Amino acid sequence: MSAHANDLVVTPRGLLFQGRYYPCTVGRGGITDEKREGDGATPRGVHNIVGLLYRPDRIARPTDWALPIHIGDLWSDDPNHSDYNHMVRAPYGHSHERLRRSDPMYDLILVTDWNWPNAEKGKGSAIFIHQWRRPTYPTAGCIGLRRRDLLAIAKALRPESRLIIR
């Protein structure tokens, strides 16, 4: 798995992007080859970045391809529903995550193609790159970054950029 300068590579030293290391956090379950819904682990592998979502009431649009997060935007994490691991809208009577949170964690989200678009039941959902809660505090399986680093990376992403988790 060969990395390029515009890839985001998770290493023991942090997230490497364009020759610079950024401190990052991973899932509380560590890095795994056997990702399962709810295990808190970050899936190893090469993942494409397929979307960029942002809160227009909190930050400026970081790139021309970023899409706003609206009130009622959710992410299905219900492995028994056909919308599993896809963005959905409220009202939604199945298990989900709110994308428009009261805290700043999802003010900017890089969406990966982990188990998407054809989600395999129970293989895990919502593997994002987002703002961390605080340094060294693990995520539920995503990659967490400092706000300013996440914004800088989002602005510098290229269409060929991938997330590589070794």
pLDDT for 125-152, tens place per residue? 999 999 999 999 999 999 999 999 999 9
Task: Please name the residue that has the structure tokens 């529903």.
Answer: 81
Radius of gyration of the chain (CA): 15
Domain extent listing, the chain: 26-41+49-155
Please provide the DSSP assignment of 6-50 as one string: TSEEEETTEEEETTEEE-EE-BTT-EESS--TTS-PEEPEEEEEE
pLDDT for 24-64, tens place per residue? 999 999 999 999 999 999 999 999 999 999 999 999 999 99
**How long a stretch of residues is the chain?**
166
